[in-house]
Amino acid sequence: MSEPRFIGDASVLPDHGFGPRSTTWWGVSGFMAIEGAGFALAFAAYFFLMAQERQWPASAPAPDLLWSSATLILLLVSELPNIWVKRAAEREDLRAVRHGLIVMSLIVLPIFATRALEFDRLNIGWDRNAYGSITWALLLMHTIHLITDWVDTLVLTALMHTHHGAEGRRFVDTSENALYWHFIVASWLLVYGVIYWLPRTHG
Amino acid sequence: MSRTDGPDFTGPALHEMLARTWSDAPGLWGWITTVDHKRVGRRYIVTAFVFLGLGGILALLMRLQLATPDSGLISADRYNQIFSMHGTTMMFLFAVPVMEAMAIYLIPLMMGTRQIAFPRLNAFSYWIYLFGGCFLWIAFVLNIGPEAGWFSYVPLAGPEYSPGKRTDVWAQLITFTEVAALAGAIELITTILKQRAPGMSLNRMPLFAWSILVTSFMIIFAMPAVMLASSFLISDRLVGTQFYNPTEGGDALLWQHLFWFFGHPEVYIIFIPAVGFVSQITETFTRREVFGYPLMVLAVVSIGLMAFGLWVHHMFATGLPRVGYSFYTAASMMIALPGGVQIFCWIASIWSGRPRWETPLLWVIAFIITFVMGGLTGVMVASVPLDLQLHDSYFVVAHFHYVLIGGAVFPLLGAVTYWFPKFTGRMMAEPLGKWNVALAFIAFHLTFFPMHITGLLGMPRRVYTYPAGAGWDTLNLLSSIGAFVFAASLLLFIGNAVTSLRNGRMAGANPWDAASLEWLPSSPPPTYNFAHIPRVESRTPLWDGEPAVIPGLRTDKRELLVTTGVDALPDIRDASAPPNGWPLFAAIATTIMFTGSIFTPWAVVWGAALMAPPLILWFWPHDPLEPKPEQGDE
C-alpha cells in the first residue's frame, strides 16, 4: 500500500455543534417525525370516524374545556423556561442549565394534575363508542409523550449535575431535549384543538 | 495530549491502536455487547435468511396441499395459520429487515465512516427484531399463530370472529418489527446525511445510498400507520374500544385505510433498496457510472413520494366514489413511469458499458425480466374493472410474487453474491452461481406464471383446497413442482454461501474492481473500517486511484467525522458510543412488556417501569455494563 495523501486536518474541528450540525438533532428530529406521523394519522382516523357519524360528539356532551385549557396555559408558560434553558445550553452556561432543568423537571408536575382531571372530564368512556375510543386514544398518546419527555428531562437533570455535565455533548443533549419539549407543546395545540374544539364547532 | 491519525501516525502502529480502541470485549460478553455495525448487520442478515427459510417451508406446505384437488393433508384452520404466518414472516421478518440489514452493514462503509450513527440503538433494533420473530414463531408452534392473513382485516380479525390470542400475537409482532425498523431508519438517515466522507456531496452519493435514504424516510412516515392500526385493533380486542365496530360508530374500512397507507409504501420499502443493489451491481459490472444518474435519483425520490398516493387501489373492491377510482387508477399507473425510467437507464448502462457477465449481473438480468412482467400485471390490476374481476384471485398472488421475488429477492441474491467477499473475505463458488441463477429463474416462472392463469380461471387465493374438474388441477400441480425446484435453488444458494465461507477463493479488498468506498478497506473490513477517513472527488472514487485522506481523528477513543448535510464538508469530530449491554436488557424488558400486554393492559404500565432503568443506564456515560471503558476520556 502506498503512503496515503493527507489533505486537511480534522483535529482542529470542534467536538460538538448544535442544531442540524449534530447527529443528536437528526436523531431527535427523526423521532419527532415518527411521532408527528403518528399524530397526523390519528387525526385522520378522528376525521374519518367523524365523517361516519350523523352527530359529533356521538352520544355524549363535548369534553370539558376547563382543565384542558389549564393544561394548554401551563404548557405555553413552560415554554419560557424551556427556551431559556435551550439558550443557556447553546452558550454552554452550566449553572443556568442546571437551574433551568430543575425548573423544567418541576413545571411538569401541575400539568400531570390537570391532565389527570382532563381524563376525568372527557364525558365519555373509551369503550362507549368509536368517538370515545379515538378521543381517549389522542389524549393518551399525548400523555405518553409527556411522561416520556419528563423522564428524559429528569435523567438529563441528574446527568448535568454530575461531572459529565461540563462536556460539550451534554449541552447538545440539553438543547435537543428542549427541542423535543417544543414538539410536546406544539402537538398539544393540535390535539387540544381536535379533542376539545372540533366537537364544539362541528355541526 | 491524545494522539490523532496523520502522517506521523499511520501504517501498522495506527492499525494496532485503532483495533484496540474499536474492538469488542472478548468472548460471549463481547458478542452480546457489540455495537459494531458489521457484526450487527451480519447477524441481522443471517437471522432474516433463517426467517426466509421458515417462511419458505410454510410456502412448500401450502404448495403440497394445493398440488392435488380435495387434498386432506392440512386442515382449513391450520391452513389459515400457515398462509397468515407465511405472509407475516416474509413481509415483516424477512423482506423489510433483510434490506435494512444489508444497509446497516454496507452504508457506513460506503459512506466512508467508521461506525453507523446511534450504534447502541442499532444493537437494540436487532434484539427487538430477533425477539419479535421468536415471539411470533413460538406462538405459532403453540397453536396461537395469526390466522387472519398478513393484513389481518377486521371484522375477521376483530374480537367477534377471531377469539383467543392469535390475532393479538399478530398485532404485537407488528409493534416489535416496526420499532426495529424505525430505529434502523433513523440510524441510516443520520449516517447518510451526516457521516459521509468529505467531498461526497449529495450528487456524488452512490445510488444505493439514495435508495436507502428514500426508503428510510418512507419507513418513518409509513410504519406509524400500521402501529396505530394494530394498537387500535389490539385495544378493540382487549379493552373494548370500538374503533372498528360499525355498530358503535367504528368502521372496518378505517382498518383498511390505515393498513394500506402503510402497506402500499411497504412494498416500495422492500423494492427501493433492491433498486439500489441493482444500480451498484450494474455500475461495477458494466464498468461505467449508471446511465442517467440524476434521472435515477429523481425516479427513486418520486417513487418514494408517489407510493403514499396509491394505497386505495388495494380497496377498489370495497366500493369507492367514482373520482376515487379515477384518481387511484391514474396514480397507480403513473408510478410505472419512474419504474420504467430506471429499467431503461440500467439497460442503457449495460448497452453502452463493457458488461462482464458475472453472477451478480445475471441476477440483475433475471430481475429486469421478472420485474417488468410483474410491473405489467400491476398496471393491469390498476384498472378498476379488471381489478374487480381479479381481486383476491391467484392472479394477484402471481403479480405480487413477481414484483416481490423478481423485484427484491433476485436483486438481493445478486447483492449477497456481490458483497459476499466483503462480508467474509472469500468469493462464492463459480460457475455454480451462474447455474443457480438459471435454476432459480426457471423454477420461479414455473411456480408463479401458471398462477396468472389459475387466477384468470377464477381460483380465489387463501382457499385450503379446491374441487377437481374446475380446470385448476394441472396448473396447481405445475406451481407445486416449481415451488419445490425453486426451494432447491435457494438451498443451493445457501449451500454455496456456507461452503464458500470456508473454502471460497480468497478475495482481496476489491475483487470486482468496483468504484464505491466499501471496497477500499480489506475484506472483511477491520472493526474501525477506515484507518484514515477517505476524501471523495467523484461518483466513482475508487476508479480515480487511491483516494486522498483527511487526518486528525482521535485514535484513543471512538471518534467519527461529521460532515455537512449537502456538501459533506468536514464539520465536527463526534464521539461514537462504545459497546454496551443495556440495549439487550432494554430489548428484553420491551419484549416482556409487549408480550405481557396481550394478556393485560396493565403490562403497558409496569412494562414501561421495567424498561426505564435499562434505557436510562444505556444513555448514562460509563456505566458498569460498558465492557471496555475508554481510556481516552477527559
Q: Do B551 and A8 touch (CB under 8 A)?
A: yes
Contact list in B for residue A8 (CB cut-off 8 A) is 198, 535, 550-552, 570
Q: What is the mean pLDDT of chain B?
A: 95
pLDDT score at B623: 60
pLDDT score at A3: 82
Residue of B190, B258, B564 lying closest to A23 (CB–CB): B190
Give the Å distances, CA to CA, from B30 to A94, B39, B621: 36, 11, 19
What is the sign of the dihedral through the CA atoms of B48, B51, B53 and B55?
A: negative
Where do the structural domains in chain B lie, given as residue ranges?
Answer: 11-356+508-619
Specify the 3-state DSSP secondary structure of B46.
helix
pLDDT score at B619: 87
DSSP state at residue B544: G
Contact list in A for residue B564 (CB cut-off 8 A) is 21
Q: Do B549 and A6 touch (CB under 8 A)?
A: yes
- What's the 3-state SS for B470-498? CCCHHHHHHHHHHHHHHHHHHHHHHHHHH
* Segments of chain B scoring below 50 in pLDDT: 631-634
pLDDT tens, residue by residue, B485-500? 999 999 999 999 999 9
pLDDT tens, residue by residue, B385-404? 999 999 999 999 999 999 99
Least CA distance to B235: which residue of chain A? A133
Triad A149, A153, A157: Cα angle to 5°: 175
According to DSSP, the residues that pair with B550 across neighbouring strands are B533
Tally helices (H) and strands (E) across chain A: 6, 0
According to DSSP, the residues that pair with B560 across neighbouring strands are B574
Least CA distance to B224: which residue of chain A? A38
Distance from CA of B169 to the nearest CA of A (A): 21
pLDDT tens, residue by residue, A103-157? 999 999 999 999 999 999 999 999 999 999 999 999 999 999 999 999 999 999 9
Least CA distance to A35: which residue of chain B? B224
pLDDT score at B321: 86
Residue of B190, B232, B561 lying closest to A10 (CB–CB): B561
Distance from CA of A28 to the nearest CA of B (A): 9
Residue pairs between chains A and B whose CB atoms are closer than 8 Å = 184
Q: What is the mean pLDDT of chain A?
A: 95
Where do the structural domains in chain A lie, given as residue ranges?
Answer: 36-53+60-201
pLDDT score at A202: 75
Considering the four listed CATH numbers 2.40.240.20, 3.40.50.2300, 1.20.120.80, 3.30.420.40, the one that applies to the domain covering A36-53+60-201 is 1.20.120.80
What is the sign of the dihedral through the CA atoms of B207, B211, B212 and B217?
A: positive
Contact list in B for residue A49 (CB cut-off 8 A) is 243, 249-251, 254
Q: Would you identify the CATH topology of the domain B11-356+508-619?
A: Cytochrome C Oxidase; Chain A (1.20.210)
Give the Å distances, CA to CA, from B132 to A50, B33, B235, B556, B630: 35, 19, 19, 37, 33
Whether B193 has its CB under 8 Å from any CB of chain A: the answer is yes
Least CA distance to B604: which residue of chain A? A144
Residues in B 104-123 with any Cβ partner in A closer than 8 A: 117-118, 121
Specify the 3-state DSSP secondary structure of A184.
helix
Identity of the amino acid at B299? A
Contact list in A for residue B195 (CB cut-off 8 A) is 23
Q: What's the pTM value of the predicted model, to 2 decimals?
A: 0.97
Q: How far apart are CA B630 and CA B178, in angstroms?
A: 33
Q: Do B570 and A49 touch (CB under 8 A)?
A: no
Contact list in A for residue B612 (CB cut-off 8 A) is 151
C-alpha cell belonging to residue B40: 450487527
* Segments of chain A scoring below 70 in pLDDT: 1-2, 203
pLDDT score at B631: 45
Whether B381 has its CB under 8 Å from any CB of chain A: the answer is no
